[in-house]
Amino acid sequence: MMLDAARTGSRNLGRISPGPLLVRAIAFCAGLATLGLALPPTMFTAPSMVVSALLAALAAIFPRSAAVTLLLVVALGLWLGGTAVDGGEVSGLGLILLGWAMYFQHTACALAAAVPLDAVVLPSVLFRWFARTAVVMLVTAILGVVVVTLSGKIPERSSLVFPLLGVACAILIGVILAYLALRRPRDGS
């Protein structure tokens, strides 16, 4: 069984073309950036960098697997641990950069999962993917700056209004996404 898996893997390596390899390299670099931005300064050691490289490589090599989710969950856990446990400072720029890296890594792995290993990837495909990703990242940065700016102007007091409003928005977004995913296309459209 292991011998069959090794043969299949070696056949797949022999048929990989430059386009899918580039997409997976982008996913690897984005995974490294995600984990690098999430690591607290006290954890920047050689062993943590090796583990980060392994997680990023797993996500890039197996983009259809749970390795992508594992990398993002580990990054989130590292960031939460670095800010909540270590008492690290949360900066708006650092948060936006981490969000960008996580989104970029996720979309790069999604593209790598969709592109067969022997496909010819035209530069226009990569350009359109990058343009869509850049637009989302730009909108995220603008909204992030607005939220960080507005949060400084809201008086600090204990209130349930804003958490409840956030939960309501999350539920509304979930309902809209579920509706869009489940709706049936009309004939002729």
Q: Which residue has the tokens 């006290």?
A: 42
pLDDT of residue 3: 61
pLDDT of residue 93: 80
pLDDT of residue 107: 94
Q: Consecutive 10-residue runs of the chain (189 residues): their mean pLDDT?
A: 57 76 93 92 87 94 92 90 73 84 93 88 89 90 80 69 80 87 68
Q: Which residue spans within 131-185 are E strands per DSSP?
A: none
Q: Taking each helix axis from N to C terminus, what angle separates 18-38 and 123-153, rounded to the nearest 10 degrees? A: 20
The backbone region for 44, taken as left when phi is positive above 0, alpha when psi lies in -120 to 50, beta otherwise, is: beta
Q: Which two tokens stand for residue 89?
A: 């400072």
Report the SS3 class of residue 40: coil
Q: Whole-prediction pTM value?
A: 0.74
pLDDT of residue 7: 64
- Residue ranges covered by each domain of the chain: 2-157
CA 93 to chain centre: 17
What residues have CB less than 8 Å from 59, skipping those under 6 apart?
A: 27, 28, 31, 67, 68, 70, 71, 105, 109
pLDDT of residue 6: 53
CA 15 to chain centre: 27
pLDDT of residue 121: 85
User: CA 167, 169, 171, 172: dihedral to nearest 10 degrees?
Assistant: 160
Q: Which two tokens stand for residue 84?
A: 């909540």
